[in-house]
Each structure stands twice: as C-alpha cells, then as structure tokens.
Amino acid sequence: MLDLQEGTQPYRILQFLAENSEQAFTQTEVHDATIIKRGSVGAALSRLEDRGLVRHRGRYWAIAEDDRLASFAVQMNARSASTTDDYYGDEE
C-alpha cells in the first residue's frame, strides 16, 4: 500500500513533481531535490506510477496528467507562493 501522508517519501516526490509540473526529471534529479535515498526514489516512483500518479518516458519522470492531481498541484503551488515576499507585501 502506498502511503501519501504528508512527509512520506511518495508524498515528498509528488510534492516536488507537482511544484514543477511543467518539467520532467531523472531519478537523480528527484533524489537531489528531495534528499531521499537514491534506491528509495526508484521504488517510490514505481509505486506512484502503478497508482497512475506519475508518468515516465525513458529516464524522465513527471507528475501524471490527471484531474485528481490538478488540485494537489494547485495546493502545492499555493503553499510555495505563500512563502514569497509578495505574500507580505512590499517593504519600504
């Protein structure tokens, strides 16, 4: 069973891919971005693919084009946007 609780490896991978939904990444790039062990990245990506949550072509992985993931991606992008300076307004 795949655990998609916040903070788990599959969740962190999905979060990274959702925040970068316009791009695809190698397992090494996912490892570098998420600091998940290299061996664990491949296994987690395979489990996510089995659930239809990610897709891959050749060596590259990306978030799946699925309506279920659209809200997840929006939520992740909103979280990262809320931590930018724009959130607090211009400081003068």
The string of pLDDT tens digits covering residues 72-84 is 665 666 655 555 4
pLDDT of residue 67: 62
Tell me the pairing of strands 60-63 and 54-57.
antiparallel
CATH code for residues 9-82: 1.10.10.10
pLDDT of residue 88: 47
pLDDT of residue 46: 95
Regions of the chain where pLDDT drops below 70: 1-3, 66-92
pLDDT of residue 71: 61
